[in-house]
Amino acid sequence: MADKSRQYKGIRWHIRQPDSEIVAHLQHAGGFSEPIARVLVNRGYFDMDSVERFTEANLQMLHDPMKLDGMLDAAERAFEAIKREEKIVIYGDYDVDGVTSSALLVKILKGLGAKVTFFIPNRAEHGYGLHPETIDILYAKGAKLIITVDCGISAVEAVAHANDLGIDIIITDHHEPKSEELESEYDITEDLNLSENNEETKINNSLPKACAVINPKLGHYPFSGLAGVGVAFKFAHGLIKFCREKNFEKAHTTDLRNHLDLVALGTIADSVPLRDENRILVKHGLSTLKNSKKVGVQALIKVSKAQNINVRSVAFGLAPRINAAGRLGDANDAVKLLLTESFSEAEELAEKLDKINLERQKVERETFEKAKKLFESGFDVELPAGTKLAGGLHRYIPDCPKAIVLAEEGWNPGVVGIVASRMVDRYYLPTVIISIDGEKGRGSCRSTRDFHIFDALCKCDKLLERFGGHKVAAGLSISKEKISDFRKKLYEIADEELDSESVIPVQDVDAEIELRDCDLAVAEKLDSFRPFGQSNPRPVFAARKVKLVETPRILKEKHLKFCVMQYGEYKKIIAFNWADRLDEIMTWAEMDILIQPYLNYYRGAAELEFQLIDAKETLWIN
């Protein structure tokens, strides 16, 4: 075996090894090729029933909303409010999930003839969630029924206050009890664990005494992974079903499918796994989004300059503009955009959100550059520019710290989570970015796959006032005077837990294949697994001992396009941002490559092309 130190020090390749018997079973039962069977098993589909549910993803496969605990009580109370013409307020969170949930329920309830409005708390003025103070605001405006979306599961005090005032509350939420406030405060998009070091604020696990609580994580609902907008959709479905059973005329003309665009937008933005109901809702929601009849959605697509509507364009184009309103502006504007029926108002609001997003990008970019400069000023080595260091920081500075903790006065709390993520992308090290305000610091943490950031914070608990999170994301509150000790402690923990391999970026690989194994038919089948996203990434394959058959063409000074050959099979490769490695590649007799198959369409005909993920010189014989 050749000296492995000669290998390109890039990303680690983690080639997954699914159970061979299950793979063989799917090949036989479904007539799948081995690469396709491996992809399915890697994503948790072990039999034909689960495979068919995954591939078909029909709306008819959605679970009965009445299986959700609290649904019947919620539907009865909402129906009563509609008939009595009581004032209903939809109370949402200020992120995309909360905004789309709010717009969805306002649309549905108005369609049913309800007297309904909405309220989104201001991040700076009110903070996250349902509070007695905001209940007072809504009481003064005559609210009789408040329906929360994407929040409320921990609002024990606020709900009790509403009860005292004679306001009924229906809670629809997807968070774990007591996780929701920290999750929103620190921009964490998955369920988290919690710890508080203040005896007066110990966690109370009791649920609010609302007239109904709908949460897929409670009871025995078949799928617990819905986003907040997914829960709002289920409530709307249950309400319409209930109203139709009561022969309520307007319920028979209300079509939920027209609002799947909002469900897809919120679900994608909240980074929930695209499995089960989420996959169904996003798959059909993207189709609705492409042809949305909502003028606000049309205006949002226009300002984002989205060429194709897919998970990526939603996550990186549409969603950030809505999120920006909650971070730096007023999220109520985002709800108004999704609700308006005026073309001129839609254009005005979309332009406003676009400008706020540009400001958010500017603040984020400036904060990232300051953080990068602050961190790199401690090294003698000049590091490459760009957003990502190939192979991580330890490729360039082997003895550098294995974690990053940075704190500054004035960093905007609304962007520190994004900045922490960008630092992880660049250096591949666990990162904590802390915004200091007076004597207090509030930080967002992002981590790598081999470092459990919440467990690490638990070991630093005596230095922290409050913290919560999960394996790869967390948030914390800390006294300014303890930041230095916290940095030292986290560095020690990271140094103990991360070895030299763990600080190198890693790429999961579905299977090792021969190029002949992935033809147009296989690529078309894989393409049918869309939408790709959380828990359903675009498949990645490894191919060994591949030869260049031509000098690569340089495209736009940054990219490469070339043809490779393996055992007489030729394939086209596009390599984005690989032009600076052209000379290196040309010296390789053979190379091992990581690739993703794509379909390009020219005059209606599909053509197979591969995108290069990574490559290294072949230095051993398999």
For 434-484, the pLDDT digits (tens) are 999 999 999 999 999 999 999 999 999 999 998 888 889 999 999 999 999
Residues 457, 451 contacting (CB under 8 angstroms): no
- What DSSP state is assigned to residue 387? S
Q: How confident is the model at residue 127 (pLDDT cuts 50, 70, 90)?
A: confident
Please state, in angstroms and rounded to a whole number, the distance separating the CA atoms of residues 25 and 34. Answer: 10
Nearest to 131 by CA among 151, 115, 113, 111: 151
Q: How confident is the model at residue 191 (pLDDT cuts 50, 70, 90)?
A: very low
pLDDT tens digit string along 382-427? 998 888 898 899 999 999 999 999 999 999 988 999 999 999 999 9
Please state, in angstroms and rounded to a whole number, the distance separating the CA atoms of residues 121 and 155. Answer: 14
Q: What is the pLDDT of residue 10?
A: 74
Q: Is the pLDDT of residue 621 over 70?
A: no
Please state, in angstroms and rounded to a whole number, the distance separating the CA atoms of residues 337 and 111. Answer: 18
Tokens of 88: 């209903």
The percent of residues in the chain predicted with pLDDT above 70, rounded, is: 93
Please state, in angstroms and rounded to a whole number, the distance separating the CA atoms of residues 324 and 357. Answer: 5
Residues 390, 355 contacting (CB under 8 angstroms): no
Find the mean pLDDT for residues 283-295: 97
User: Around Cβ 220, how many Cβ atoms within 10 Å?
Assistant: 9
CATH of domain 4-19+508-617: 2.40.50.460
- The CATH-assigned architecture of domain 60-257 is Alpha-Beta Complex (3.90)
Please state, in angstroms and rounded to a whole number, the distance separating the CA atoms of residues 92 and 389. Answer: 39
CATH of domain 378-504: 3.10.310.30
Going from N- to C-terminal start, the domains of the chain cover 4-19+508-617, 60-257, 378-504
Q: What is the pLDDT of residue 6?
A: 34
Backbone angles phi, psi at 614, to 5 degrees: -160, 160
Find the mean pLDDT for residues 123-127: 72
CA distances from 521 to 57, 606, 610, 613 (A): 21, 10, 14, 22
Nearest to 571 by CA among 539, 616, 533, 607: 607
Share in percent of the chain as helix, strand, coil (round to 5): 45, 20, 35
Backbone angles phi, psi at 528, to 5 degrees: -75, -10
Look at the block and give the residue holding tokens 């090729």. Answer: 33
User: Around Cβ 621, how many Cβ atoms within 10 Å?
Assistant: 8
Q: What is the pLDDT of residue 185?
A: 57
| Strand, helix or coil for residue 466 | strand
| Strand 511-512 relative to strand 541-548, pairing | parallel
Query: In sequence order, what DSSP letters do the residues of 162-231 get, joined into one string?
Result: HHHHT-EEEEE--SPTTTHHHHHHTT--S--EEEE--GGG----PPP--SEEE-TTSTT-S-----HHHH
User: Around Cβ 365, how many Cβ atoms within 10 Å?
Assistant: 13
- With left for phi above 0 and alpha for psi between -120 and 50, is residue 261 left, alpha or beta? alpha
Find the mean pLDDT for residues 334-354: 98
Nearest to 269 by CA among 403, 97, 384, 124: 97
Q: What is the pLDDT of residue 327?
A: 84
Q: How confident is the model at residue 511 (pLDDT cuts 50, 70, 90)?
A: very high
pLDDT tens digit string along 1-28? 333 333 344 789 999 999 999 999 999 9
Please state, in angstroms and rounded to a whole number, the distance separating the CA atoms of residues 511 and 36. Answer: 9
Please state, in angstroms and rounded to a whole number, the distance separating the CA atoms of residues 524 and 606. Answer: 9
Look at the block and give the residue holding tokens 């798959």. Answer: 283
Residue type, 392: G
How many contiguous H segments (helices) and E segments (strands) does the chain have? 22, 20
Residues 436, 409 contacting (CB under 8 angstroms): yes
- With left for phi above 0 and alpha for psi between -120 and 50, is residue 252 left, alpha or beta? alpha
Residue type, 361: Q
Q: What is the pLDDT of residue 469?
A: 81
State yes or no: cis peptide before 531, omega within 30 of 0. Answer: yes
Estimate the crossing angle of helix 331-339 against helix 295-304, to 10 degrees: 120
Q: Is the pLDDT of residue 195 over 60?
A: no
Own/partner pairs, 49-52, CB within 8 angstroms, 24+ separation: 51/26
Residues 368, 322 contacting (CB under 8 angstroms): no
- Higher pLDDT: 604 or 227? It is 227
Residues 269, 315 contacting (CB under 8 angstroms): yes
User: Around Cβ 441, how many Cβ atoms within 10 Å?
Assistant: 25
Backbone angles phi, psi at 317, to 5 degrees: -120, -60
Please state, in angstroms and rounded to a whole number, the distance separating the CA atoms of residues 476 and 466. Answer: 6
Residue type, 228: G
Please state, in angstroms and rounded to a whole number, the distance separating the CA atoms of residues 324 and 566. Answer: 48
Q: What is the pLDDT of residue 602?
A: 81
Helix H segments across 305-442?
311-313, 319-328, 331-339, 343-376, 416-427
Estimate the crossing angle of helix 260-269 against helix 228-245, to 10 degrees: 150
User: Around Cβ 495, how many Cβ atoms within 10 Å?
Assistant: 12
Q: What average pLDDT does the chain have? A: 92
The percent of residues in the chain predicted with pLDDT above 90, rounded, is: 84
The reported pTM is: 0.90
pLDDT tens digit string along 531-550? 999 999 999 999 999 999 99
Please state, in angstroms and rounded to a whole number, the distance separating the CA atoms of residues 104 and 110. Answer: 10
Residues 516, 569 contacting (CB under 8 angstroms): yes
Q: Is the pLDDT of residue 196 over 50?
A: no
**4-19+508-617 shares its CATH topology with 60-257:** no
User: Around Cβ 565, how many Cβ atoms within 10 Å?
Assistant: 14
Q: How confident is the model at residue 494 (pLDDT cuts 50, 70, 90)?
A: very high
Find the mean pLDDT for residues 44-53: 96
Q: Which segments of 525-602 are extended strands (E)?
A: 541-548, 553-555, 559-566, 569-575, 591-602
Find the mean pLDDT for residues 587-605: 92
Instruction: Report the greatest alpha carbon distance in the chain.
Output: 80
Q: What is the pLDDT of residue 203?
A: 35
Cβ neighbours of residue 132 closer than 8 Å, sequence gap 6 or more: 157, 158, 161
Q: Is the pLDDT of residue 370 over 60?
A: yes
Nearest to 450 by CA among 505, 489, 509: 505
